[in-house]
Amino acid sequence: MSKTSNFFKTNAILSTALLSLLGACAIDDPIDYTTSPVGPSSNQGANNESFLSFEGVFAQDEAEVNTERRIQFSLEEAVDANKEYSVTVDGNEFKYTTTSSPDHQTLASQLAQAIDSNALYSATAENNVIRILDGAGTSSISATKAGALTEINEDPPTEPLMIEKSDLIDVGLYYGNADKEFNKYLPLIEKYYREEKKMTTTNINTLLDGSDPNVALLVVFQPATKFNDDEIDSMKKVLEIGGRIFFIGEHQGYTPTQNKNISDGIVAMGGSITVKTGSYSEDRHDRTGVKNLYNSPLNAGVNVFKTTLYAELSIDPKISQAIIIDDSGRIVVADQALLNGRITLIADQNWIDNNFKGYAYEAASDAKVFMDNLAINAYNNQEKVKEGINPNENFAPSAGTVETIYTSVASLDINGETITIKSTNEKIGKDIQFQKQNNVESKVEYKDEKLVITYKENVSTTEDIVALLNAYPEFSATTTGNIIIP
């Protein structure tokens, strides 16, 4: 394997394709390139590596906004099934979740379609290559793959959450925008919290008006209409004081509109959990065999959670948790830290049936324990906020990692040849300056914490500069513009 291949193929980053800038980037005296960190966010596991990529700040006679950009996925690297791939172009994220039988062409095609749907860009796909034809010529581009979102290796605590004075917990039941077709479920939840747990409950019978509901837990059941701005403001106030909003949908065969209202509402609040299409019935979720219960306080003391038909959920793994998953890896319950609070979602209602034992009446279901944990955890987080503590400070994303599989790099043209440069040294966050001189030899040096590459006009070749850069262990440079790392 070449030096370039060794540089990019690391334990934390799967092998991928690097960017090629099509079109010349002429170097004048001087051109600065700045570095910025690209990679998993700081709240992810320590096994994730963060790289610095030289994202072109093209200032003179170089790439134009409509210069074609390409992302090429290596055919030697398998596309994972049921994983979320995303491409980000200057902060605009485009996502695609692969099927159970994925292939490179479909991955490239689906992501290209998502990019093309944005009016800023024009994109197509050819086999395993995304071609961004317009709008991204000078953009920062990256691609990530969600890691083992649903590989649960550690059981949750065995003891449920407890509280001495349960009447301190305020639970709000949002009737004002609830679908009336299944209106028995909110009363069942309210009765459980009020009679069995002795918590303080409030029935909110009108539309939320932008004011603070003053509850630790707000239960939102299958909203009949799209949330208006006042409703969103009220729900955000719950989150701002550390509370939790518990959304309950149903499988897509029954409530697609209500599920969309939930998904859109979460997005409007800045969240990321959405209800996907489909209906599934792997109904027993437990700690044995294929583990289904994530190590979350919401699952403390839960051994079995019973559902019936449910819709699969989609999350942003960088900021969300897959709380309960089925044996096929589909997300059944999800939780996300948002503002100072949490958002929790399940797209099934029948787990409430038969006194929270499930539609098929399985006595082993610990849905009541789960309900207790929802409310107690929300109350505890509210108390932390009152003390000036951020309850989401140590909120970790789901098991697994988010891998950066592609990042844009500085791509330069010297004498008609392309140089591509990437750095692994996080301490080098300064400008890179290229200086063309008439009567000096090519060299690489630091001046005032700036990396300066000096080359002799009409004499220096790309190979000369690549050799100089590769003399530094922090850098990898190549004259190949479109690199596939096996």
pLDDT greater than 70 at residue 122: yes
pLDDT band at 259 (very low <50, low <70, confident <90, very high): very high
Do 365 and 242 lie in one domain? The reply is yes
Number of neighbours of residue 293 by Cβ within 10 angstroms: 25
| Better-predicted residue by pLDDT, 406 or 86 | 86
Domain range spanning residue 42? 3-147+401-478
Question: Which contacts of 129-133 are long-range, i.e. CB under 8 A and separated by 24 or more positions?
Answer: 129/70, 129/71, 129/72, 129/73, 130/70, 130/71, 130/72, 130/87, 131/68, 131/69, 131/70, 132/68, 132/69, 132/70, 132/71, 132/89, 133/66, 133/68
Tell me, what amino acid is at 201? T
Do 260 and 356 lie in one domain? The reply is yes
Q: Considering the chain, what is the average pLDDT of its residues?
A: 75
pLDDT band at 367 (very low <50, low <70, confident <90, very high): very high
Do 440 and 365 lie in one domain? The reply is no
Q: What is the model's pTM?
A: 0.59
Last residue of a domain, one of 386, 411, 426: 386
Do 118 and 198 lie in one domain? The reply is no
Tell me, what amino acid is at 153? N
Per residue in 395-451, pLDDT (tens digit) is 876 655 555 555 544 455 555 555 665 554 433 333 456 666 766 677 777 666 566
Do 382 and 408 lie in one domain? The reply is no
272 vs 251: CA distance, rounded Å: 19
Q: Give the best-scoring range by mean pLDDT among 63-77, 248-262, 305-319.
A: 248-262
CB of 328 closer than 8 Å to CB of 335: no
Last residue of a domain, one of 356, 386, 416: 386
In a domain, 297, yes or no: yes
Which CATH number characterizes residue 239's domain? Answer: 3.40.50.880
Q: What is the pLDDT of residue 473?
A: 60
Q: Which of 52-56, 316-320, 371-375 has the lowest mean pLDDT?
A: 52-56
Domain count, the chain: 2
Do 380 and 406 lie in one domain? The reply is no
In a domain, 9, yes or no: yes
Do 365 and 299 lie in one domain? The reply is yes
In a domain, 157, yes or no: no
Do 265 and 172 lie in one domain? The reply is yes
Per residue in 243-252, pLDDT (tens digit) is 999 999 999 8
